Amino acid sequence: MKREQWGSRFGFIMAAAGSAVGLGNIWKFPYLAGTQGGGAFLAVYLIIMATIGAALIMAEIAIGRAAKKNPVGAFRALGGSLWSTTGVIGVVTGFMILSFYSVVGGWTIAYLVKSVAGTIESAQPELLEAQFGGLVSAVWEPIFYHGVFMVLTMGIVIAGVAQGIERSVKVLMPLLFILLMVLVVRSVTLPGAWEGIEFFLVPDWSQVNGEMLRAALGQAFFSLSLGMGAMITYGSYLDKDADIPNASCWVVFLAALVGVLGGLLVLPAVFAFGMDPGAGPGLTFITLPAVFGEMIGGYVFQIIFFAMLLIAALTSSISLLAIPVAYFAEEYGIERKWSAIVVGILIFLIGVPCSLALGVWGEYKLFGMNFFDLMVYAVDNYTLPIGGILTSLFAGWVVLEKMGKELSNDGSLNFKWMAAFTWIMRIVAPLAVVWVMLSGLLGS
């Protein structure tokens, strides 16, 4: 059977940017910036994105296109069976991320439904907190919405790479940008917004510390979907004439832009209404609805916000599901449709204890963490960094020549950054990630 391909360059960039832009940028980035010192965090994040992030995304796409296979098959084809373990880590990580990602995606659907129904207690912050806590700790409601989210994800992936993924992201991503712009304009024009803009954009360098650097590097990896084979999978459907460095830069630019816009949406509004920017994970589900509750036209803006968050989550979840689906389809010859259904159901089932861990199963702990936190922790601190180190060492030391050919399309493009790429892959990225992991383990 002929391998599927993206229909156009625009389609590929939208798909890859869709994978990158997700809950990570709109939900996590603003609250990280809020707790990690605002402008300085943003500056460090952008520097990492433009260097290590850009190089690694090029490497992943190049590995995918060179091998035209799922991550396990790709590492095996290019580097032998020992290296295929790196792909296995990626497939497992895809399972893990999607199982908790889909639970949060489910909350987004729940909040969208409640926003339309007008049942979010926006007028009273204490009630909002209780409402969010009530949703996530309930038994059936979050599991139901987690199921709905998985069904949507599976539906798109089953329809295929060009017919499902590409067709949907070509509509959804531009829509996301429009909705986001509407919200940002509203937020930065609120009276009192300036303080938030300043907090977010003007770096206070005294805020730079080990914890912040760790958070910025982890966030750069997660928000570019690196270290677990998503970009290898998407790259494997790319045609041989596509300009990988150019497309990669677009994806990095768009992901960083949405992070910045996400910050400009959330933080000025939070400051304008005198709320706490360091509220943490509850910022988008508790603090923002409180802001909408006080805003003229807040009902409409709230619907726009949760619709946008859902789109961001979906265009990422399809890239997560696409990895194991490609793996089972290619390595075991299972038809794509069945592969998507079986894997989707499995991920749904792993998501159930993730969801219950925030409520009735909260007391079951391993290493002091409930199941949800454990999954997030394992991914952030172990599987993504290890996947990232192995991928960069592979690109820099094992298949560097091949990388050069892919990035320059066999010499027909002039790729000026090969020396920088080589340095980053061989030394800078692995060392940076090892340092981050060790300093995290030693708790400094």
**What residues line the site for ligand PHE (CB under 6 A)?**
19-20, 22-25, 97, 222-223, 225, 228, 230, 316, 319-320
CA nearest to 108, candidates 310, 355, 304: 310
d(CA 247, CA 176): 19
**Which run of H or of E encompasses 402?**
helix 400-407
CB of 274 to ligand PHE, least distance (A): 29
What amino acid is encoded at 159 in this protein? A
Contacts of 246 (CB under 8 A, 6+ apart): none
CB of 307 to ligand PHE, least distance (A): 16
CA nearest to 229, candidates 341, 72, 96: 72
d(CA 220, CA 226): 8
CB of 179 to ligand PHE, least distance (A): 16
CB nearer to ligand PHE: pick between 24 and 396? 24
Residue with tokens 């895809």: 94
* 244 touches 65 (CB < 8 A): yes
> How many other C-beta atoms can be found within 10 angstroms of the C-beta atom of residue 192?
12
CB nearer to ligand PHE: pick between 91 and 183? 91
CB of 126 to ligand PHE, least distance (A): 29
CB nearer to ligand PHE: pick between 20 and 290? 20
CB of 309 to ligand PHE, least distance (A): 10
What amino acid is encoded at 88 in this protein? V
CB nearer to ligand PHE: pick between 19 and 302? 19
CB of 295 to ligand PHE, least distance (A): 26
Contacts of 1 (CB under 8 A, 6+ apart): none
CB of 382 to ligand PHE, least distance (A): 14
d(CA 251, CA 404): 20
| Residues recorded for the chain | 444
CB nearer to ligand PHE: pick between 120 and 254? 254
CB nearer to ligand PHE: pick between 324 and 396? 324
Contacts of 371 (CB under 8 A, 6+ apart): 353, 354, 356, 357, 361, 364
- Residue 129, Cα to own-chain centre: how many angstroms? 25
CB of 220 to ligand PHE, least distance (A): 10
CB nearer to ligand PHE: pick between 29 and 394? 29
CB nearer to ligand PHE: pick between 55 and 295? 55
Please give the C-alpha separations between residue 329 and each of 324, 326, 337, in angstroms, as whole numbers. 8, 5, 9
CB nearer to ligand PHE: pick between 236 and 319? 319
CB of 334 to ligand PHE, least distance (A): 22
